[in-house]
Amino acid sequence: MNDGLIILLPTLVVLGLALWSRRTLESVLAGVLVAFFIMEGVAFLDATAQATLSTLMTEDVAWVLLVCGLYGGFIALLVKGGGSYALGKALISRIETKQGSLLATWSLGLLIFLDDYLNSLTVGATMKAVTDRFRTSRAMLAYVVDSTAAPLCLLVPLSSWGAYFSGLLEQNGVAAEGQGIAMFVGTIPYLYYPMVALLIVPLVAMGVIPLVGAMRRAEELAERTGDLGVAEEQALTVEDNARGGMSVFFLPMVAMIVFTVLPTVDLLRGVIAGILFTSAYYSVWRVMPVLEVFDTCIEGIKSMVPVLAMLLTLFVFVEANDRLGLTPYVIDAVSPFMTAGMLPVVVFVTVSVLSFTTGSNWGVIAITMPIAFSLAQTFDVSIPLVMGALFSASAFGSQACFYSDSTVLSAQGAGCTTHEHAVTQLPYALLGAAVAAMLFIVVA
């Protein structure tokens, strides 16, 4: 077995097992074990344990796990307080068709642009009651939610994605200090994949783009039998209660967003403040007793445990691939195809493959940005165009990968399995990627 196949083996194991077993967590864990066995031999268990501990202690990973867990508690409060039910009921009274319910889901997703995690969990949990009425499969709901999460956050500078990539542009010398956000805004006209992915959703909802493959089967089953493909329900379920009106949904959301963006964008601060505000608001207006508020918040955090386990395993897998040198290997393999005219599309396709196979959206971009920047300078290609290709690839990987954080959270919010969501949305993600690749060829 040559070095190339050895480097690719863990990723191939993950993809193969995920397709065969339809179990995502176990497949990624197997990839982790294979990777460390390749690197450490019989000492692979010790190496895996040490890597898991060091990954968990990483500030960025701890931040993600805290934010996701607390989002679960925050959304559980919105659900249990009746805010999500009140919003869903108001929408149901105005929506008369399945097409309308999907377009309403898409529209709500466009409003929650601050962070893809918040978007995925909130929109899915809120709109289930609406789409269920029209026998819409949970897989279709998850697709609509996922397609308006990371793609939208990339197109709006005031988001977690905008903040992160602006910082990377400065760290890598692509933008001068303090000019990262300006450079990021300059890449927006070239973010072809996010634009196309967002536009495909209403076309699918209206039937302009037909249902294909697993999505068509899921929708036919839902309409014929009423089997929506619901995974085991957890705390993020909209309850039929009348504890509060829509203010119970919107006021906590507004409070959380305000605390998130002021004075600087900080999602962890925002969700903590959101929980505190919601707890006080519910107690003062007697939406629910104080002890029930605490219990609900804890139950919401508990509901996120499978997601947190998946995310931690994914981060360890990313670390294993970094140690194996997967990204430099792939970059070296495609370097002969680099020309001025082909550079943007080669960057987009290559990084899309890396992001899709590794499940790393932000990490891959951090590794490849200095390489892409150097190539853009060497071939005298527009830097905003190349950066747009790079960021577009990140959005594709986030949406299409079977085990990315966005895929896991969108499935959790919509109430279907991660595998079902991944296989049903993949054709539409690939369609968006194909269109985006053609646009990068035409514009270059």
DSSP 267-314: HHHHHHHHHHHHHHHHHHTTSS-HHHHHHHHHHHHHHTHHHHHHHHHH
Residue 347: burial class (beta carbons within 10 Å; 0-12, 13-18, 19+): buried
Q: Which residues contact 8 (CB under 8 A, 6 or more apart)?
A: 326, 329
Looking at residue 232, its pLDDT comes to: 64
Please give the pLDDT value at position 201.
96
Question: What is the pLDDT at residue 235?
Answer: 40
- Residues 34 and 197: beta-carbon distance below 8 Å: no
Residue 2: the pLDDT is 52
Q: How far is C-alpha 374 from the chain's CA centre? A: 28
| Contact present, 441 and 345 (Cβ < 8 Å) | yes
* Domain ranges for the chain: 59-192+213-305
Coil vs helix vs strand at 82: coil
Residue with tokens 């996010």: 194
**What's the pLDDT at 21?**
84
Counting as low any pLDDT under 70, the low residues of the chain are: 1-4, 232-244
pLDDT at 442: 94
Please give the pLDDT value at position 186.
Answer: 94
pTM of the complete model = 0.81
Do residues 321 and 10 lie in contact, with contact meaning Cβ atoms separated by under 8 Å?
A: yes
Contact status, residue 213 vs residue 417, Cβ threshold 8 Å: no
CA 44, CA 38: separation in Å to the nearest integer?
8
Q: What is the pLDDT of residue 328?
A: 82
